[in-house]
Amino acid sequence: MTFVIAEPCLGTCDTSCVEVCPVDCIHGPLSVEEIHEIQAAGEDQKLEDVQLYIDPIICIDCGACEPECPVEAIFPSEDAVPDKWNEFIDKNADFFA
């Protein structure tokens, strides 16, 4: 069991979840600073294919991130991820492989 970020994060990258994670296990291809710079510049289209991921090894299942996500992209376990987004379970783990 681990927390998983799914499709709604793509292009949203709000980063609220990163700020509350006590073990700093939420990362993506861009740093939070880089994401904020892109958003501040109004260049959100550059984030279309960008999402963040939760490291399933480091995550302590505290649940702090889930209510912070404005687009309900975070699910509390593999089993809770809707079938249509099952591929995101491996995507999260593979990002840290």
Binding site for ligand SF4 (CB under 6 A): 3, 5, 9, 12-17, 20-21, 23, 25-26, 52, 54, 59-65, 68-69, 71, 73-74
Closest distance to ligand SF4 from the beta carbon of 41 (Å): 18
Q: How many alpha carbons fall within 13 Å on the CB side of residue 27? A: 14
Closest distance to ligand SF4 from the beta carbon of 2 (Å): 7
Measured from the CB atom, the residue of 38 and 71 that comes closer to ligand SF4 is: 71
CA triplet 81, 61, 12: central angle to 5 degrees?
Answer: 55
